[in-house]
Amino acid sequence: MWKNRSFLLTLLLSALMFYTFLFSGDAIGMDLNPDSLQDVTLSGYIISETDGEYLEGATVYVEELDRGTATNERGFFSLTMPPGSYTVVIRYLGMETKTMEIELISSIQVEILLEEGELGFEEIIVEAADFRAGIRRSITGVETARIRDLRDLPQLMGEIDVIENIIQLPGVQSVGEGASGFNVRGGRADQNLTLMDGAPVYNASHILGLFSVYNPDVHDSYTLYKGHIPEQYGGRLSSVLDVNTRRGSAENYKVRGGIGLYSGRIAAEGPIVSGRTSFLLSARGADSDIIFTLAGRDRDLARVALPSDVYNSRARFYDTNAILTHRFSDRHILTFSYYKSENYFRYSNEFGYSWNNDLGHLRLRSLFSDNFFSEISVSHTGYRGENFELVGPQSFTLNRGIRNRKVKSDFHYLGFERVSISFGSEMTWHRSRPERFTLNTDPAVSTLNSAPADRGHELAFYAGKETELTPWLILSAGARFSMYNQLGPALVNIYHDGMPRQSESITDVREFSGGERVVHYSGIEPRVSVMLKFDDDNALRLSYNRARQYVHQISNSTSPTPADIWQLSGYHIPPQTADSYAIGFYRDFDNNNIRSSVELYFRNLDNQIEYIDFARLVLNPAIETELVSARGEAYGGEFSIRKLRGRWTGFLNYAYGRTFFRTTTPFEESAINRGEWFPADYDQPHNVSLTAVRALGSNSAFSFSFNWRSGRPITALSAGYLDQGTTVPIFSDRNQARIPDYIRLDVSFTIADHIWKNRAPNPDSRNDDSLNITLYNVLGRPNPFSVFYMRGANSDIPVPNRLSVLGAVIPSVTYNFSF
């Protein structure tokens, strides 16, 4: 029944979209704006002349009216004003400021190209550089950067990496190299909505986090919402990382790429139909086997000379992007993007992982009128993870996965004076893949989890409005209404009311047929933020938002692994919810050369999923028996100061943050730490990052980066006691000790090719070839990724061992080229 209703709703929505697409015109905008019949609208896109990318956050300022706006994530802006002559100033950090005299008689739409700034690399844009418009936005905790502006920072494995970059931001951290994912303001790694062109990515890492899925030649910019999450995003509690791909050039053919010690990449783009249709194709990969293949006849010598663990270990990945863009007209652009990746990691001949992502995304951007903008998209995401053990007769392979399909519509109306409106809807079909366990020694012995694959539908509507109430007060208010249904086929265990959920307390098993509704959850998610602008340099922002999450990653290992379970909400697993509050003060100095901010946040988390002690999650058809619901609280403060211009640029970030959980079960058998508050696995109170970049002339720079983070909590082993002759290990309560602090220093040089070729710099300096040399972890400190316990030959109980993924200095040399 529900299935039919949701299908009809989606159909209705699609019909509406189709209708508006076919019959779009100025009339729609006029109807929506009856009070401003005399006014005209200046709208359009701000585009980088160098690569044709839409610039998010560029400011458009009308001097005569002392009014302005900033482009949205699609590079679009719209300003409504009385007819007249105006001086319009367009600014974007790192670009030349453009001033235009416009005679505005009727509404017009423009495309404004901005050139690279004259200062070139002497004005190096630090990562997460926002823009002067930044303090005009009403929301807290938003960070945005263009990928190309990150290239002078130290680069792990010689490649610009979005995830590695955002981990430098205050309030964002990782539990260490090798971790798949990152944590934002006390949220778990699975509470980040990680998007590639709007399609969710379940695992954004390659080779256990040493690379990410975001190819720097393909992606244009990222926006991280770590405080206030706008109403058009949903389904995750903690943050949204929205990374956009570039369009291929519709005018010229270009090739760019890079080759380094560990990886290589290449991207080609160009027109298919000049001015209308373009392509962008890329491939990237890394493979430790290549080194041994290069050895040729010396391979045997390598086998003898290297430790067996080294020789037998393998790490490789590849990924590809394909992007096709077609411009129907100035008002309608269709983009299709596809992404595929394969990953494999094996430690010696003992254990390993493989995982892959498949993403497809079709998007239609339409400008119905000068101030009515829409984006309609359809996407598919597939994710498969596999872990395997290769040792012993019981060596196995375990497969898991999830997929979702999504239809989304976003509408933005900018026709009211000092008001922007957005609304839309989103429908997602979730389905987990059945868990499969196979014995490697006898593939015929394969066990499928007896629980049917989870299925669920998530439907959300949203609407929001940002209003400039006065020149010094901007209010953004919106809400998202989301609903979720778990669908059959499903077998649901019913447990005795007064007993913990255990196999012994099952009183009944209810069977649901295919498509039948098992359980329904829904709720409103308010999103409100306010900005008080004291003057051009000082602003205060406050925000509140609620979010609900229906998809959860379940792990009882120390860090998310590629093969962790993605579990949908269901009869026994209600959606996680979070109420987030933030307040921030922002101050610019030295004519906006130095930007500072202080933000405080508090997050109240409900229905958090914790695993009980000694939980067994593999092939468990009643996984709810291993889980326990918890309340959580996260709070902290962040300080950031950034220098944006001059020979020395950089930033200093410090964040203090704590996250605690407390189980809510009334049954002491299931409670963790007797129901007391305990720190989250990723609770790292102190986090400092310092980065400085020294310009060394055109297109060349030296930089260093220092990171210090508190060690994360762990359940510690301290001793043992005898019981009937057996030494029983004494572990602490959960997460009562900490592993050593994480400390790392990196240095990096970027040298433009004109220097070693002894020629004049390229007038378009950004197109110079360059060589990047990075020394990662200069201190050679073996920062712990994980602590595991293992019994030694002469030990009755396990002893703690620290695993450092990068325990030495990692040099990298990468040659980046374009032509």
Site string for another protein, 179-208 (x = CB under 8 A): ------------------------------
Q: Are 553 and 561 in contact (CB under 8 A)?
A: no
How far are the Cα atoms of 357, 492, 511, 581, 668 from residue 624, in angstroms, in the given order? 27, 10, 16, 31, 16
How far, in Å, CA of 731 to CA of 718, rounded?
6
Q: Assess 390 for contact with another protein (CB under 8 A).
A: no
Q: Considering only the stretches 246-254, 344-352, 467-475, 691-699, report the one whose residues sit in contact with another protein under the rule CB under 8 A.
A: 344-352
Q: Assess 294 for contact with another protein (CB under 8 A).
A: yes
Q: Assess 724 for contact with another protein (CB under 8 A).
A: yes
Q: Which is nearer to another protein, 637 or 807 (CB)?
A: 807
Count of residues near another protein by CB under 8 A: 84
Q: Which is nearer to another protein, 700 or 774 (CB)?
A: 774
Q: What's the min distance (Å) between Cβ of 671 and another protein? A: 10
Strands 40-48, 108-114: parallel, antiparallel or unpaired by DSSP? Answer: parallel
Q: Are 78 and 41 in contact (CB under 8 A)?
A: yes
Q: Assess 796 for contact with another protein (CB under 8 A).
A: yes
Q: Which is nearer to another protein, 71 or 263 (CB)?
A: 263
| DSSP H/E element including 242 | strand 239-245
307 C-beta neighbours (distance < 10 Å), count: 9
Q: Assess 801 for contact with another protein (CB under 8 A).
A: yes
Q: Considering only the stretches 53-61, 264-272, 472-480, 806-814, report the one whose residues sit in contact with another protein under the rule CB under 8 A.
A: 806-814
How far, in Å, CA of 755 to CA of 326, rounded?
39
Beta bridge partners of 633: 604, 660
State both tokens at 212. 């990410």
How far are the Cα atoms of 172, 600, 636, 678 from residue 686, in angstroms, in the given order? 11, 14, 10, 17
**Which DSSP state fits 796?**
S
In the list 8, 27, 306, 524, the residue contacting another protein (rule: CB under 8 A) is: 306
Q: Considering only the stretches 3-11, 143-151, 182-190, 784-792, report the one whose residues sit in contact with another protein under the rule CB under 8 A.
A: 784-792
Q: Are 192 and 241 in contact (CB under 8 A)?
A: yes
Q: Assess 477 for contact with another protein (CB under 8 A).
A: no
Q: Which is nearer to another protein, 353 or 521 (CB)?
A: 353
Q: Considering only the stretches 127-135, 246-254, 274-282, 343-351, report the one whose residues sit in contact with another protein under the rule CB under 8 A.
A: 343-351
State both tokens at 543. 């925000």
Find out whether the peptide bond into 489 is cis, omega within 30 degrees of 0: yes
Q: Assess 759 for contact with another protein (CB under 8 A).
A: no
Q: What's the min distance (Å) between Cβ of 575 and another protein? A: 25
In the list 81, 737, 743, 747, the residue contacting another protein (rule: CB under 8 A) is: 737
Q: Considering only the stretches 62-70, 92-100, 309-317, 325-333, report the one whose residues sit in contact with another protein under the rule CB under 8 A.
A: 309-317
Q: Are 384 and 401 in contact (CB under 8 A)?
A: yes
Q: Assess 77 for contact with another protein (CB under 8 A).
A: no
Q: Are 406 and 375 in contact (CB under 8 A)?
A: no
Q: Assess 779 for contact with another protein (CB under 8 A).
A: no
Q: Considering only the stretches 111-119, 491-499, 598-606, 791-799, report the one whose residues sit in contact with another protein under the rule CB under 8 A.
A: 791-799
In the list 252, 441, 522, 718, the residue contacting another protein (rule: CB under 8 A) is: 718
Q: Assess 298 for contact with another protein (CB under 8 A).
A: yes
How far, in Å, CA of 70 to CA of 76, rounded?
8
How far, in Å, CA of 423 to CA of 330, rounded?
23
> What's the first-to-final CA gap in the chain, in angstroms?
57
Q: Assess 733 for contact with another protein (CB under 8 A).
A: yes
Q: Assess 720 for contact with another protein (CB under 8 A).
A: yes
Q: What's the min distance (Å) between Cβ of 773 and another protein? A: 14
- Name which of residues 349 to 388 contact another protein (CB under 8 A): 350-351, 387
Q: Which of 574, 527, 588, 463 is nearest to 132 (CA)?
A: 588
Residues in CB range of 369: below 8 A, 6 or more apart:
24, 25, 26, 27, 28, 29, 30, 41, 107, 415
At 308, give phi and psi (nearest 5°).
Answer: -60, -35
Q: Assess 557 for contact with another protein (CB under 8 A).
A: yes
In the list 251, 330, 536, 676, the residue contacting another protein (rule: CB under 8 A) is: 676
In the list 45, 225, 262, 355, the residue contacting another protein (rule: CB under 8 A) is: 262
Q: Assess 302 for contact with another protein (CB under 8 A).
A: yes
Q: Assess 292 for contact with another protein (CB under 8 A).
A: yes
In the list 397, 706, 806, 814, the residue contacting another protein (rule: CB under 8 A) is: 806
How far, in Å, CA of 723 to CA of 152, rounded?
59
How far, in Å, CA of 90 to CA of 101, rounded?
11
Q: Assess 25 for contact with another protein (CB under 8 A).
A: no
Beta bridge partners of 712: none
Q: What's the min distance (Å) between Cβ of 387 and another protein? A: 7
Q: Which is nearer to another protein, 124 or 207 (CB)?
A: 207
Q: Assess 742 for contact with another protein (CB under 8 A).
A: no
Q: Which of 374, 468, 376, 480 is nearest to 70 (CA)?
A: 468
Q: Assess 619 for contact with another protein (CB under 8 A).
A: no
